[in-house]
């Protein structure tokens, strides 16, 4: 079987560099291209501390897709450009693995329709850490017994979208897992606007952005006389790489949209 040819979009970013290193380490994957808005002309192996890989960072995704003919594009860019990147990738007839967050439900519907129309697969995952996927599953199970819950998500200070995709996906799973509605609470008297967080599908979500953090989430359930806390911490970006590599291997086999890594690890 031929190797899966991988192009990394956002290759010079912190996540992109980890993806480059992870792809290069796999015998069945071949890194064929690197795209980023910064670093144009640099050797991506040198950027990632791997030595010379013979791959120069390009700025134009469409041109790179034509020049490198990848099997899969891995996108870790920004919410401001991700939809354009996805459209360019699928319209080029290439499967995609997307870790960039900030996509709306309307975006996902559009992506799903485009992927089906092109006969290609796209995997969009709010979180590629396998522990985070399990955290979300456990939260859905707990919601059957603890309908009252709030989420605290904590990320590095350069993450611009809030709440995180992981928090939104967790809230969706909690809503699907509930068999009873949360208890009625008095209307908050907020001394500072937003102090009680934002609400999504009946769950309050609180977003923290601080230097020193990477990606962390607590799901706190409350009931009479007890609380249950489910927490996941990514302490290094390498924690996301097993999930990314799993998705890269699966993407060429599917058609349409897969949202969330949990669908791949059943």
CATH of the domain at 223: 3.30.360.10
Q: 194 and 90 in one domain? A: no
Could you read off the pLDDT of 71-108 as tens digits, one per residue? 999 999 999 999 999 999 999 999 999 999 889 999 99
The answer for residues whose C-beta is within 8 angstroms of residue 75's C-beta and 6 or more apart is: 9, 10, 82, 85, 86, 89, 96, 97, 98, 99, 100
Q: Is the pLDDT of residue 174 over 90?
A: yes
Same domain? For 63 and 43 the reply is yes
Return the pLDDT at 1: 67
- Given a cut of 80, whether residue 45 has pLDDT beyond it is yes
State whether 245 and 228 are in the same domain. no
pLDDT at 187: 85
Q: The whole model's pTM is what? A: 0.86
Residues 153 and 120 reside in one and the same domain? no
Contact 170, 151 (CB under 8 A): yes
CB 167 within 8 A of CB 205: yes
- Does 155 share its domain with 205? yes
**pLDDT number for residue 65:** 98
Q: Which domain holds residue 15?
A: 4-124+237-264
Considering the domain architecture, whether residues 77 and 205 belong to the same structural domain is answered as no
Are 74 and 97 in contact, with CB atoms under 8 Å apart? yes
Rounded to whole angstroms, how far apart are CA atoms 236 and 217?
A: 14
Over range 115-135, report the average pLDDT. Answer: 95
Say what the pLDDT of residue 184 is. 86
Q: Are residues 143 and 225 in the same domain?
A: yes
Residues annotated catalytic, as ranges:
155, 159
Distance CA 230, CA 137 (A): 10
Same domain assignment for residues 191 and 167: yes
What number of H helices and E strands is found in the chain? 8, 12
- Are 62 and 92 spatial neighbours (Cβ–Cβ below 8 Å)? yes
Domain match, 93 and 136 both: no
User: Average model confidence (pLDDT) for the chain?
Assistant: 95
CATH number of 37's domain: 3.40.50.720
What is the sign, positive or negative, of the torsion defined by CA atoms of 5, 9, 15, 21?
A: positive
Is it the case that residue 266 has pLDDT exceeding 80? no
Number of domains in the chain: 2
Mean pLDDT calculated for residue range 127-148? 96
- Residues 134-140 have a mean pLDDT of 96
Give the DSSP H or E segment for 19: helix 14-24
Same domain, 117 and 244: yes
The reply to whether 11 and 71 lie within a common domain is yes
Predicted confidence (pLDDT) at residue 188 exceeds the cutoff of 70: yes
């Amino acid at each position: 079987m031929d190797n899966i040819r991988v192009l990394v979009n956002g290759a010079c970013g912190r996540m992109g560099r980890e993806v480059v290193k992870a792809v290069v380490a796999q015998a069945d994957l071949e890194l064929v291209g690197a795209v980023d808005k910064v670093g144009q002309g640099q050797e991506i192996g040198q950027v990632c501390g791997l030595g010379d890989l013979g791959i120069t960072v390009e700025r134009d995704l469409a041109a790179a897709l034509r020049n490198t003919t990848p099997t899969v594009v891995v996108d870790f860019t920004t919410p401001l450009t991700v939809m354009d990147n996805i459209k360019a990738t699928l319209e080029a007839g290439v499967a995609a693995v997307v870790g960039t967050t900030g996509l709306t439900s309307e975006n996902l519907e559009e992506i799903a329709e485009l992927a089906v129309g092109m006969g290609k697969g796209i995997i969009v995952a709010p979180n590629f850490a396998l522990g985070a996927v399990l955290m979300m599953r456990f939260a859905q199970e707990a919601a059957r017994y603890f309908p009252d819950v709030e989420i605290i998500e904590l990320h590095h200070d350069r993450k611009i979208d809030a709440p995180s995709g992981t928090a939104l996906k967790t809230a969706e799973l909690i809503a699907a897992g509930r068999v009873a509605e949360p208890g009625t609470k008095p209307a908050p008297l907020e001394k500072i606007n937003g102090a009680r967080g934002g609400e999504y599908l009946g769950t309050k979500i609180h977003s923290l952005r601080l230097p020193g953090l990477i990606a962390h989430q607590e799901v706190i359930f409350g009931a009479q006389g007890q609380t249950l806390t489910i927490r996941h911490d990514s302490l290094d970006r390498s924690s996301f790489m097993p999930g990314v590599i799993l998705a890269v291997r699966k993407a060429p086999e599917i058609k349409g949209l897969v949202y969330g890594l949990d669908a791949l690890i059943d």
